[in-house]
Amino acid sequence: MRAGDPPAHHGRRRREMATREKRLAQFDGEGEPPPGVPVQVLCEDQSGTYELPFACRFSDGAWRNHESGGMLEANVIGWRLVRRI
């Protein structure tokens, strides 16, 4: 590394942010989803962003698994209507 070069982690952080913004743009829900409607959610933790493999719903101020009704223990940062195949 030469004097004046950015730290090696600098480029990695920029790529992580670009990936986060790209993924977040795919989850176009704004505000809260309609009550009882199954949605896909994007979550985030210290390792990055991830999509849960099951439908969720927002109910009584909390995110829940749409099928089981169990509360999510995840930081939801975006949602979109469930995509039908």
Give the model confidence (pLDDT) of 10-52 as tens digits. 556 666 666 888 989 999 888 999 988 999 999 999 989 999 9
The DSSP code for 51 is E
Does 2 fall in a domain? Answer: no
3-class secondary-structure state, position 25: helix
How many residues make up the chain in this entry? 85
Predicted pLDDT of residue 1: 46
Does 62 fall in a domain? Answer: yes
4 has pLDDT over 80: no
What's the total number of domains in the chain? Answer: 1
27 is in which domain, residue-wise? 8-81
Kindly report whether the global pTM for this prediction surpasses the value 0.85: no
Q: Residue 85 — very low, low, confident or very high, per pLDDT cuts 50/70/90? A: low
Does 31 fall in a domain? Answer: yes
Does 1 fall in a domain? Answer: no
39: nearest Cα among 55, 62, 54:
55
Contact (Cβ atoms closer than 8 angstroms) between residue 44 and residue 75? yes
Task: Give the mean pLDDT of 3-10.
Answer: 54
